[in-house]
Amino acid sequence: MSAGDLGIAGNSGVPGRLVVCATPIGNLEDVTLRVLSALREADVIACEDTRRTRVLLDRYGVDASLLSYHEHNEHERAADLVGRMRAGQIVALVSDAGMPLVSDPGYVLVTACVAAGLAVEVLPGPSAALAALVASALPADRWTFAGFLPRRKGDLVAIFGSTETLVAFESPRRVAASLAVLAAVDADRPVAVCRELTKIHEEIVRGSAGDLAVRYGKEAPRGEVVLVVGAATNAEIDEGPAVDAMRQLVAAGAKARPAAKVVSELTGVAANLLYAAVSAK
């Protein structure tokens, strides 16, 4: 089937490709020259919100065709975009801010391109996770990115048990609650609350989990927040009693998954860890 049959004006004989572009997380001046060049060259730009992407394009005089690509239409759009690339088009992928796929849409499209044998080029650029990690003044040689923090206490405790510096996104409305869970485990754990990075109201607040839980319990932060949490020490993580209780319940006839949920709620140890402990052969 030709590009004309698909209704696509592709570059005949030139293989199409996907160009993944990191875009500013707040300050529009943080866009790279390579990204601007790629956006100008692309036949179509797949973006989460066409209105937000248009602001960036208008700032730099980029006249481009936009196509919405978000979490609710990823599979449908991925099939369409792969067809365009097979016909020779260059597709640029952007999210509203930062690097696509990192807690943003794009995974479906990238994997579809790889499966189809299409080239995928990634252009680095702004990242809220990296900016927060560096600004936190916590060790950056080994770190874990958790995406958006879970809401369940047991899952939170498990994540906060990381023995590496932890970087995570959090809703400003839940910052106090998440820090309270951490403070219950280790009130002295160092934390940095990084707010509105690269924007006019950027703020980095560093302190202990206990102090920051109190601070944000009185007044929630505003804007987009990245939490950076210092590494846990092995001494802080004692899952033994919870695992023992789990094994006793199962031995007494309880089903593993419901038992794991109950023990997790009582102890704060992640339910999936408890289930794995009694399911391992």
Looking at residue 90, which CATH number applies to its domain? Answer: 3.40.1010.10
Shared domain check, 194 and 257:
no
* Both tokens assigned to 174: 């839940």
- Check whether residue 8 and residue 91 sit in a common domain: yes
Ramachandran angles phi, psi of 195, nearest 5°: -120, 135
Q: What length does the chain have?
A: 281
Q: With bands split at pLDDT 50, 70 and 90, how would you rate the model's confidence at 128? A: very high
**Tokens 């992640």 belong to which residue?**
270
The number of distinct structural domains making up the chain is: 3
Three-state secondary-structure class, residue 123: strand
Same domain, 83 and 37: yes
pLDDT of residue 108: 96
The reply to whether 25 and 112 lie within a common domain is yes
**Residue 170, helix vs strand vs coil:** strand
Residues 227-257: tens digit of each pLDDT = 999 999 854 445 678 888 888 888 888 888 8
pLDDT at 1 over 70: no
Taking residues 147-170, what's their average pLDDT? 92
Q: Are residues 10 and 96 in the same domain?
A: yes
The answer on 117 and 66 residing in a single domain is yes
The Cα–Cα gap between 86 and 40 comes to: 20
> Of 146, 174, 170, 175, which is closest to residue 160 (Cα–Cα)?
146
Query: Is-contact 36 59, C-beta < 8 A?
Result: no
Domain span holding position 118: 3-126
